[in-house]
Structure 1
């Protein structure tokens, strides 16, 4: 097929050797902070794109354009979800402290996929741990990968 019949967007991606960022098929639940992060990413990328266009940096334009498409899709599908105040069961957006049989305690905040960062104490709502915790109360057990964890505390953050 002639290059004349390819989309410009495809040509840009080929230049930089970048493919599209995969978009999750799960519901795009977000916390208020997660929604703000999406907006920040979009604003930053628009600024970066404008600078790349002024410099005619085709590789940078391709990469930033791809990221803009990703974050635009995530913004369009975002569903803000705020936990019900005083909820006594684990829900999206809540903090959960769990304890293993050996006394190890871990605290997780259950957030959207793009917002999750286990090194900072947040996990995605589609992670096995979050799925095992949803709907449970303090004192209930959640099993993940053959290990049981007791829910010892719930918090709104």
Structure 2
């Protein structure tokens, strides 16, 4: 499997979630299964089946996170010399010509993307269009709603 880019903050968040799953949620669900077993017949024990389902979800998520971290290429943008160009992990402030407003995006890995907070996947059309651009460059993006035009206002390299 190939390496998957991940920002330092994205890797930290995955490690935090993994710690919570292993130290808090896993023991709690094991306790819930134990208590449900004490209630008797397991065939008709809804609490037992719900706890087992939750355990399955937790174990699956643990494996998923461990797999992502083992295949991650953690990129610290603060240690790179990008020469003012937009790269993975950079924060880019753009002017949306049609909307007449400035928008700030941070280009992150697939698993970190959250458009509500301005985190866009490096694989998205908009991020791919910004990669390699620098301040004052114009960028046209073919979006589902049609072509959008942006101007790069600022490029920052922050954690």
TM-score after normalising by structure 1: 0.78
- Structure 2 residue aligned with 1:62: 56
Q: Give the ranges of 4+ consecutive aligned residues of structure 1 lying more than 3 Å apart after TM superposition.
A: none
Unaligned 5+ runs, structure 1: 1-24
Counterparts of residues 100-115 of structure 1 (less than 5 Å) = 100-102=96-98, 103-115=100-112
- Counterpart Cα distance in 2 of 1:71 and 1:131: 25
Alpha-carbon separation, structure 2, partners of 1:152 and 1:36: 29
Q: 1:16: which partner in 2?
A: none
Tell me the distance in 1 between the aligned counterparts of 2:129 and 2:157: 18
Q: Within the alignment, does 1:122 sit opposite 2:119 as a pair?
A: yes
User: In proportion to residue count, which structure has more strand?
Assistant: 2
Which residue is 2:87 aligned to? 91
Q: How many residues align?
A: 133
Task: Note the residue ranges of structure 2 that are not aligned, 5 or more in a row.
Answer: 34-50
| Partner Cα distance (1:101, 1:115) in 2 | 27
SS of the residue 1:39 aligns to? helix
Relative to the length of structure 2, the TM-score reads 0.77
